[in-house]
Amino acid sequence: MKLLAATLFRGALALSAPSTAAAFLSPASQSLVKFPSATSDLRKSISCHAKRGEGYGPPLNNISETVGNTPMVKISDRICPKGRTIYAKCEFFNPLSSVKDRLALSIIEAAENDGSLKPGQTVVEATSGNTGIGSGCYDVCSAWLSCVITMAEPFSIERRKLMRMLGAKVIVTPKAGKGTGMVEKAKELAEKHGWFLCHQFETDANWKIHYETTGPEICNDLKDMNFDYWVTGYGTGGTFHGAGKYIKEHSPDTKIILAEPGAANLIGSGLSTDRNPDGSPACSHPAFNPHPIQGWTPDFIPLVLEKGLGQSIHDELVDIPDGAAVQMSQALARNEGILTGISGGATMWAAVETAKKAPEGSVLVAMLPDTGERYLSTPLFASIEADMNEDELEIARSTPSFILEPVS
């Protein structure tokens, strides 16, 4: 926690002292740089809905009650184009650190209400990780005793570990099967064992939770200002479909920007996905190619997304070029103190590019789906070393005690 606090403070400090915050050491004197007014400026800039120390409110019955009501944070002019305003909708403030907490809880609650999920029944689902992490948690909060997740081999190791930490069993499917392979495996397991299949890519419970929560949260938080653009990517398509539908109904002048990887230009191809009778994909989409944005754009167009596209919700489609998502995620961490994943970087890149073309004074909202800690074994952290680099060793050697020299 101390490390996280220090990182956040450094990000905020950079905003209050832009000319010097990039360096911790003065090149000439090798002494610590001082910021005489930075802490006071930072303190003045802090604005919370409730004053720190007042408390959250009455104790909650279980962790699922903390889902939603995530904050929006203004992006500084280090990233945001001049004369425009970008707010990041920080979905990593959900209890399991991703937007999929909303979806997982919605599916479980809907299945409880209609009786399709019986007490003690096993829940099974195919996921890149975040839905499974949420499902593992909310099964525990509910009356259901076990959760089985199918996940394709390329997704990050830490996602598997988090799901297992939450009590789920994780069945890893071969890389060659891509997303359709893990979906087919979940379907087989449900049919074989009589388990409850979540159908996150097909169920209306997916988009409805975003229509009921995500969309209203954004519109309510921005009710006193113009709201010109909303930018999102898609995984299942639930956020786009549900929140986008609500925004179009309640803020019709807002333009909705949908983004997808340039390497996997499924929507842009104009080609549809062949489907089984239950709406699940019958085969891999011909326009799909592997890409690094985990959680985004499986190798098929989900039915939830297709239904949203059929309502003409989005105004523009943006392709994310290779490398842009990782670079923007790293920039958000280093300049804003915002630790989000590759999908968050991709969305913010699309928001920044949209802002560059937008009229001066425009206000944009970008969805940040999850936390960067879920990507430690991915390209996002490939350039981040575990051992001290030369600059760090130089600092360590500047005083005589406790120097951990590298082993040759």
Query: Which residue in the list 97, 128, 142, 343 is annotated as catalytic?
Result: 343
Q: Is 100 a catalytic residue?
A: yes
Q: Is the dihedral of CA 352, 357, 359, 365 positive or negative?
A: negative
CA nearest to 67, candidates 32, 118, 101, 29: 101
Size of the chain, expressed as the number of residues it contains: 408
Query: Which residue in the list 100, 185, 245, 255 is annotated as catalytic?
Result: 100
Q: Is 343 a catalytic residue?
A: yes
How is residue 237 annotated by DSSP? S
Rounded CA-CA distance 362/27 in Å is: 40
CB 87 within 8 A of CB 72: yes
Rounded CA-CA distance 151/129 in Å is: 7
19-39: burial string, b at 16+ Cβ within 10 Å, e else:
eebeeeeeeeeeeeeeeeebe
- CA 195 to the chain's CA centroid: 28
Q: Is the dihedral of CA 9, 15, 16, 19 positive or negative?
A: positive
Q: Is 154 helix (H, G, I), strand (E, B) or coil?
A: coil
Q: Which residue has the tokens 């130089």?
A: 394
CB 364 within 8 A of CB 354: yes
Q: Identify residue 99 by its one-letter amino acid code.
A: V
Name the token pair of 342. 């590759």
How is residue 406 annotated by DSSP? P
**Among all residues, which ones are annotated catalytic?**
100, 343
